[in-house]
């Protein structure tokens, strides 16, 4: 079980704004890491944009699960994990980092902040500590299961999109993705295996 990324974003009227992110891409091939990181940022932003305020959701994409929580104050967080990682622990982690972040960073900075200006350092520590859910979360065994009724489950990224919207177009337009990542996405798409990228 593995956590790949943990990001905090602000959900604006049209776009989500990335405030801080931490990644653990050690399990990916060295030369793919930069593209994978861009795709994780892109995916996290897209998911926050498409999630309504005050809700939690899990989005399945190939062998990954992206868990999102957007609070009523528009602050949101996304953790990307593999399918083995316990969902309940992911949402505990999201609650925890959002709580901590909102205490440390003034809400005036949320709409316009970016990873360089925001002063919140704990994300990397949380990500590495939670790699082993049983050490990080004392409740893992006692409360292994989650009240799933409160969480929306999407079986693909596509189900987040609006009618007529295409993932390919969003990738092509994205500012999170560099040319190499876009090219990589295209080839992977052609071979019908976008899992190659992420």
Binding site for another protein (CB under 8 A): 1-2, 27, 29-32, 35, 83-84, 86, 131-134, 140-141, 144-145, 180, 183-184, 187
Closest to another protein by CB, 2 or 121: 2
Q: How long is the chain?
A: 198
In angstroms, give the least distance from the CB of 26 to another protein: 9
Of 1 and 125, nearer to another protein (C-beta) is: 1
Dihedral sign for Cα 147, 51, 193, 91, please. Answer: negative
Q: Provide the minimum distance between the beta carbon of 85 and another protein in the complex, in angstroms, as a whole number.
A: 9
User: Helix, strand or coil for residue 124?
Assistant: helix
The least CB distance from residue 131 to another protein, in Å, is 8
The rounded distance, in Å, linking the Cα atoms of 152 and 55 is: 8
CB half-sphere exposure, 110, CA atoms < 13 A: 23
What angle separates helix 179-190 from helix 33-49, to the nearest 10 degrees?
Answer: 90
Residue 29 or 52 having the CB closest to another protein: 29
For residue 2, the minimal CB distance to another protein (Å) is: 8
Q: Which two tokens stand for residue 155?
A: 């079986």
Taking the least distance from each CB to another protein, the nearer of 117 and 132 is 132
> What is the smallest separation between the CB atom of 39 and another protein, expressed in angstroms?
12
Q: Which is nearer to another protein, 32 or 128 (CB)?
A: 32
Residues 101, 31: Cα–Cα separation, whole Å: 32
Query: What are the angstrom distances between the C-alpha of 124 and each of 22, 40, 74, 87, 148?
Result: 5, 15, 22, 20, 28
- Asked whether 128 and 24 are in contact (CB, 8 A), the reply is yes
Q: How far is the CB of 68 from another protein (least distance, A)?
A: 21
Task: Measure the CA–CA gap between 13 and 8, rounded to whole angstroms.
Answer: 16
Nearer Cβ to another protein (35/37): 35
């Amino acid at each position: 079980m593995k956590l790949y990324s943990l990001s905090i974003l602000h959900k604006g009227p049209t776009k989500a704004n990335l405030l801080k992110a931490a990644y653990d891409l050690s399990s990916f091939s060295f030369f793919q890491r930069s593209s994978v990181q861009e795709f994780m940022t892109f995916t996290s932003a897209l998911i926050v944009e498409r999630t309504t305020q005050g809700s939690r959701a899990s989005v399945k994409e190939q062998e990954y699960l992206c868990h999102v929580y957007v609070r009523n104050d528009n602050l949101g967080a996304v953790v990307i994990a593999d399918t083995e990682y316990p969902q309940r622990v992911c949402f505990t982690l999201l609650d925890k980092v959002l709580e901590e972040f909102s205490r440390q960073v003034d809400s005036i900075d949320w709409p316009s902040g970016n990873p360089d200006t925001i002063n919140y350092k704990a994300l990397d520590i949380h990500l590495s500590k939670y790699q082993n859910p049983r050490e990080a979360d004392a409740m893992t065994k006692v409360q292994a299961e989650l009240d799933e009724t409160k969480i929306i489950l999407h079986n693909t990224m596509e189900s987040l999109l609006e009618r007529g919207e295409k993932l390919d177009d969003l990738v092509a337009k994205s500012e999170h993705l560099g040319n190499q990542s876009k090219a990589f996405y295209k080839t992977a798409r052609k071979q019908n295996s976008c899992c190659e990228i992420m």
